[in-house]
Amino acid sequence: MLRLFNLILLIVGTFMCAAAPSAAKDVQIDGLRFGVNGETTRFVLDISNETEPGIFLLADPYRVVIDLPEANWHANSAVQTTGLVEGYRHGLFAPGVYRIVLDLKEAATVKTAFSLPPRGQYGHRFVLDLEPATRSNFLAAVQSSKNERPVVTSASVPDVTAPRKRIAGKRIVVIDPGHGGPDPGNLGAIGVYEKVVVLEIARAIRDELNRTGRYEVHMTRDRDIFHPVRERFRIARRHRADLFISVHADSIANSKVSGASVYNLSETASDKEAGRLAARENKSDVIAGVNLDEADDDVSSILIDLAQRETMNFSAQYANILVQELARDVPMLGRSHRFANLGVLKAPDVPSILLEAGYLTNKTNARFINSDSGRKKIAQAVRRATDRYFQQMVALGR
């Protein structure tokens, strides 16, 4: 079936990717503040030097996106919003692009945007004024701001149609730390964002697998940067991965709930909680200010659906093994092997699972997965499961 899938790829082709230009981190963001004057809401950014941000609007939900050159953030992220702005997020969206996303309480458009030179106690400032708008006016502004959106693509890696080149016969594993950049993920009981916790867990897993000498390990990100959901599994495909592991940490209103769980792809959620998680994780692109109208599938074919069924079987096999290995040393959630329609797991030719390492909303669980000892136990469980899984693949002649 995988040979058939490779033949399909040769016929229909795959997406193109180009390296994004990078910019030096010569912009320092030192502060921000919000103010209201009548119906106008003002957003002020204190920056180290004058710059011309890219500004565009996105609908459903209403958002204003501000893209700066790659920058260092030194501002207080706890500044309270007011007026038309409900909340904000920020982070490295792509090499060379630092993104700030303003979530709006209602439809609003940019009244004016300008830079101010240093004066008195203030240095360089960027000022953005927002005013209320009707939905139709907002949607018109979305269209007119399209040309301000940066063209952001990922760095080039080998074409998936090229012959697979292994390093001394090593299996290829891609580890995906969830969230990143302007998409922070959950903020748990210990005050550390999910994007930080899962990056450290992913690094521990990478190091544990590398120590065996049996695997070629890649990570979708090794710093605080954002990748769209589809780009994450595309990275795995371009590396021609044998296994894709996406690492996350869950959150729930009930702070008593704790424990790890493992998900693999299914169009039907295994339970209400799995459906809730899928709905939240699939909104990652919205949170980071991605224009969802431009999202597309790599390929579309009933034959690819057939290939994906085989991949889903292998994914479920690995997930089952991983649950067994985690249960030896890691606190587990009841019914810890689950199924959900998670966009990050939709590579049709790469067995893929999502590991929810634990619950950040449970203080004890959060401390465990954010500790050196907890990360080590999780990483060792992943290594044992990966060894067992590929031993079974060898027995099947794969």
Q: Which domain holds residue 257?
A: 169-395
> Do both 183 and 46 map to the same domain?
no
pLDDT at position 262: 96
Cα 97 to Cα 23, 24, 55, 69: the distances in Å are: 8, 10, 12, 5
> Do both 219 and 118 map to the same domain?
no
> Do both 265 and 310 map to the same domain?
yes
pLDDT at position 89: 92
pLDDT in tens, the chain (398 residues): 434 334 333 333 333 333 333 344 679 999 999 999 999 999 999 999 988 899 999 999 999 999 999 999 999 988 999 999 999 999 999 889 999 999 999 999 999 999 999 999 999 999 999 999 999 999 999 998 876 665 544 444 444 444 455 667 899 999 999 999 999 999 889 999 999 999 999 999 999 999 999 999 999 999 999 998 888 988 998 999 999 999 999 999 999 999 999 999 876 666 666 566 666 666 676 767 776 555 444 444 444 454 567 788 899 999 999 999 999 999 999 999 998 888 888 888 899 999 999 999 999 999 999 999 999 999 999 999 999 999 998 887 77
How far is C-alpha 203 from the geometric centre of its chain's CA atoms?
16
Residue 156 belongs to a domain: no
> Do both 106 and 185 map to the same domain?
no
Q: In what order do the strands lie in the sheet with 27-37?
A: 71-73, 27-37, 40-47, 124-132, 108-116
> Do both 134 and 250 map to the same domain?
no
> Do both 122 and 211 map to the same domain?
no
Helix axes 302-326, 372-395, angle to 10 degrees: 130
Residue 159 belongs to a domain: no
Among the three residues 115, 148, 181, which one is the final residue of a domain in this structure? 148
The single residue listed with the structure tokens 């702070």 is 255
Distance separating alpha carbons of residues 150 and 97, to the nearest angstrom: 8
The per-residue b/e assignment along 30-62, b for 16 or more CB within 10 angstroms, e otherwise, is: bebbbeeeeebbbbbbbbeeeeebbbbbbbeeb
Residue 29 has phi, psi (to 5 degrees) of -100, 110
* Pairing of the two strands 215-219 and 63-68: unpaired
pLDDT at position 161: 43
pLDDT at position 292: 57
Residue 359 belongs to a domain: yes
Residue 160 belongs to a domain: no
For residue 120, what are the β-bridge partners? Answer: none
Distance separating alpha carbons of residues 344 and 244, to the nearest angstrom: 10
> Do both 117 and 218 map to the same domain?
no
Residue 2 belongs to a domain: no
pTM above 0.85, yes or no: no
> Do both 230 and 137 map to the same domain?
no
> Do both 369 and 231 map to the same domain?
yes
Distance separating alpha carbons of residues 345 and 245, to the nearest angstrom: 9
The structure tokens listed for 291 are: 């224009």
The structure tokens listed for 156 are: 């080039």
Residue 96 contacts residue 18 (beta carbons within 8 Å): no
Among the three residues 113, 148, 183, which one is the final residue of a domain in this structure? 148
DSSP string, 27-87: EEEEEEEEEEETTEEEEEEEESS----EEEEETTTTEEEEEESSEEE-S-TTPPP-TTEEE
> Do both 255 and 303 map to the same domain?
yes
Residue 153 belongs to a domain: no
CATH number, domain containing residue 119: 2.60.40.3500
Among the three residues 148, 179, 203, which one is the final residue of a domain in this structure? 148
Residue 388 belongs to a domain: yes
- Total count of domains within the chain: 2
Distance separating alpha carbons of residues 251 and 245, to the nearest angstrom: 19
